[in-house]
Amino acid sequence: MDRTQALLNCLYHEAELLDEGRYREWLALLAEDVRYRVPVRVTKERGPEGGLSGVMEGMYHLDEDYTSLEMRVARLETGFAWAEDPPSRLRHFVTNVRIGEPRPTPKGEESEVRSNLLIFRSRWDRPDYTFLSAERRDIWRREEGGWRLACRTVILDSTTLPTHNLSFFF
């Protein structure tokens, strides 16, 4: 299988794991030194050169490493994580995938992968739902046993979040 197809498969497989709440399997897709961040976004004027506006360096909605992501998963397993029990019905739509050139690093071959993400979220028996739109800027690394997510920055398209918590993963 070529590199592009392998990475696409990774993204789709990951989305399936997140949609189905198979979080231990999802953790297995992460590199041990993973950096996982969702910066706060604010409204800003257009810069002279365009580009993304208002992605803040100083504050995040999530700033995680493997240990803290594992903690969030372990919490869901306690039976007392009310934010996701009953679980949200989530659907991760992954599109506009852009795969960069492979790059050798001391830790293995790495590739930048950008994708657009739309998350649908529905809870309880209410007919209403939430959408969150974002771009994911990933670095995937080829390790023994397959590709692992080494770094993810999620560029949200909301400033004020339209949902009552971020109890799920992007």
Partner 1 sequence: MARVKTGLSPRLSRMLEELQEGVEDGLVPAWIFNDPELFELEKERIFSRSWVYLAHESEIPKPGDYVLRYVLDNPYILVRGEDGVVRALLDMCRHRGMRVCRAELGNASHFRCPFHGWTYRNDGRLIGVPAEREAFGQDLNKEEWGLVPIPRLEAFDGMIFGNLDPGAPSLEEWLGDIRWYLELVTKRSPQGLEVLGPPQRWVVNTDWKLALETFLSDSYHTLMTHRSLIELGIAPKDAKYAMYGEQIHIPGKGHGSMVVGAPPGAKLPPFWGYPEEMLERARTSYPTREQFETARETRILLVTLFPNFSFHNPIRKPDHKYQGAVPMLTFRVWHPLGPGRIEIFSWALVEKDAPEWFKEKTRLSYLRFFGSSGTFEQDDTEIWSHVAHNAATPQGRHLRFNYRMGLKLEPDPNWPGPGVAYGLNFTDANMRNFHRRYLEMLLA
Binding positions for partner 1, rule: CB under 8 A:
38, 40, 42-45, 54, 56-65, 67-68, 71-72, 74-75, 78-84, 159-167
Pick 60 or 120: Cβ nearer partner 1: 60
> Considering beta carbons, is residue 2 or 57 the nearer one to partner 1?
57
- The HSE-up count of residue 129 (CA atoms within 13 Å, CB side) is 12
Q: Measured from the CB atom, is 116 or 130 closer to partner 1?
A: 130
Choice between 111 and 167, CB closer to partner 1: 167
Q: Among residues 114, 85, 119, which one has the least CA distance to residue 8?
A: 114
Closest separation between CB of residue 4 and partner 1, Å?
Answer: 32
Distance CA 72, CA 23 (A): 10
**Comparing C-alpha atoms, which of 124, 125, 138, 116 is closest to residue 82?**
124
Q: Token pair 């790059």 is at which residue?
A: 103
Q: How far is the CB of 69 from partner 1 (least distance, A)?
A: 9
Beta-bridged to residue 166, according to DSSP, are: none
Provide, rounded to whole angstroms, the least separation between the CB of residue 50 and partner 1.
16
Rank residues 9 and 63 by Cβ distance to partner 1 and give the closer one: 63
Structural contact between residues 58 and 41, judged by C-beta atoms closer than 8 angstroms:
no
**What are the tokens at 120?**
């649908």
C-alpha closest to that of 154 among 36, 44, 34, 13? 36
Rounded least distance, CB 137 to partner 1, Å: 18
In the bound complex, what is the minimum distance in angstroms from residue 52's beta carbon to partner 1?
14
